[in-house]
Structures are given as structure tokens and as C-alpha cells.
Amino acid sequence: MRPSVQLWLCTQPTDMRRSYDGLAAMVRRQLGQNPLSGRGFLFINRRRTQLKCLYFQAGSYCIWSKRLERGRFSALSPSAGKAIALSHAEFEALIEGLDLVVTKRRKRWHPKLSAA
């Protein structure tokens, strides 16, 4: 998946028997977003051993999945909302088994663009 794709992680446990249409319906109903937007939508099962990513690219749905033989994906509190936006670095940390606990995001300096 391209690093420029915006990723959204569903914080509610998901039935991993769902495929394209079922996951797209979840994006519409539970997350209130458009599955055709080109964003990636991540879903994790209740035991946190399986992850699926649904995204729409070049006129078709794509599903990427990962199943862990040992360990679990990071636990996320459903109180964080229905979905949280992930940076590409947070996505990489999630699939590598690192915790996604962010206590505070710090502001970063960005140069102002001058009008020429």
C-alpha cells in the first residue's frame, strides 16, 4: 500500500468472515465514510489475531490481510471513537506488533511557503 494513502482503523471488533461487500457496508454504516474514497480502512477481530485492510484503487476493491500465528495486535479502546486516523508510521507499528498508545501528539515546525 502506498504511504500516501490515508488509513482509518475501526476500533470495534470485526467478524473476519466479512469480505468486500460486508467490509464496505461497515465503512458506510459504522464509520460514516465512503469506501470508494481511496482511503484504507483497517479492521481487527475480537481476539486481535487477524487484521484486514479494505481500500478502493483503480476501479476495484482490494483487501489486504494478516493473521498472526503468535501474539496479538495492539489493543485499542473502543472509547477512542468508531475509527481513528493512522499515519503510515503508526500503521507499520501496528502490523509489526508495537503498541499504538499515543499520549500526546506534539506540534512540529513546518516552514511557511512564501508567495512568489
pTM (2 d.p.)? 0.78
104 domain-assigned: no
113 domain-assigned: no
53 domain-assigned: yes
106 domain-assigned: no
In whole angstroms, what is the distance from residue 83 CA to residue 96 CA? 20
pLDDT of amino acid 79:
58
Range of the domain at 87: 7-95
pLDDT tens track of the chain, all 116 residues? 556 678 999 988 999 999 999 999 999 999 999 999 989 999 999 999 999 999 999 889 999 999 999 888 886 666 566 888 888 888 888 888 777 665 555 677 767 776 65
What is the dihedral sign for C-alpha 54, 8, 69, 25?
A: negative
How many domains does the structure of the chain reveal? Answer: 1
83 domain-assigned: yes
50 domain-assigned: yes
102 domain-assigned: no
43 domain-assigned: yes
